[in-house]
Amino acid sequence: MSGRKIRYLNLGAVIGPIIFTIVVFSLAFMRPGYSHVSQLMSELGETGAPNAIVMNTLGTPLLGVSILMFALSLYACLEKTRSSQAASAVILIGGVCMVAGGIFPCDPGCIPVTPIGKMHELVSNIGFTGIILAPFLLFIHFGNSYSWKTLRLSSLYVGIITMILVPIFLMGVFESWNGAIQRILLGLLLIWMEGVSLKLLREPH
């Protein structure tokens, strides 16, 4: 893959989360009573929600495309090891699930009732569960590389935190805080993705 194409992939991985954040906060601002603490981000695109089309086009699916670009960039840039290829694979699955999450919006309140709502829950859970493995896998891949030392440690920390939070989120242990937990989870993963992508942007290809 040419250096220009790799650069475009990394730029997409950097820009996607920024657009997603703007979309989420903008839609939440325009929806009176919406709570970032208790409500899931998917509820902004739930069936019947005002401006749901924005969340289900420029929000979740576009972020999924950005994650797919990140996965392809990792595959193209990193040395081919079992851990790097596995990381690319689980991130790719996460990106596909994110795109599918927009195609299949959740039911009102994100309580799965219809087949489409149940599909949304399924792909969301698969995406979240799979992508949390990526930081651990890249932690292994980076090994003792001095140039990746900072991101190697941050990969480990992000992996540990998300591994703790994902079961709490999926089981609804603190249901009234599920919105905040989801944002912390996704936010950590996206910040980590941005850090790796920016590092790759600076690398010669």
Residues in Cβ contact with 99 at an 8 Å cutoff, skipping those fewer than 6 apart: 60, 61, 64, 65, 68
Q: What pLDDT, on a 0 to 100 scale, did the predictor assign at position 128? A: 77
- For the entire predicted model, the pTM comes to 0.91
Q: Is the pLDDT of residue 1 over 70?
A: no
Structure tokens at 45: 């695109």
Structure tokens at 191: 């910040």
Q: Is the dihedral of CA 176, 106, 164, 19 positive or negative?
A: negative
Conformation bin of residue 185: beta by default, left when phi > 0, alpha when psi is -120 to 50 = alpha
Segments making up each domain of the chain, as ranges: 3-202
Structure tokens at 112: 């799965």
Structure tokens at 164: 């703790």
Q: What pLDDT, on a 0 to 100 scale, did the predictor assign at position 169? A: 83
Q: Which amino acid is at 155?
A: S
Q: What is the pLDDT of residues 106-160, one digit of tens each?
A: 999 888 999 999 999 999 888 877 788 899 999 998 887 777 888 888 999 999 9
CA atoms of 97 and 90, how far apart (whole Å): 10
CA atoms of 108 and 89, how far apart (whole Å): 32
Dihedral pair phi/psi, residue 79, rounded to 5°? -60, 140
Q: What is the pLDDT of residues 156-205, one digit of tens each?
A: 999 999 888 888 887 877 888 999 999 999 999 999 999 999 988 887 65
Q: What is the pLDDT of residues 63-94, one digit of tens each?
A: 999 999 999 999 998 888 899 999 999 999 99
Q: CA dist 31 to 42, 43, 149, Å? A: 13, 11, 43
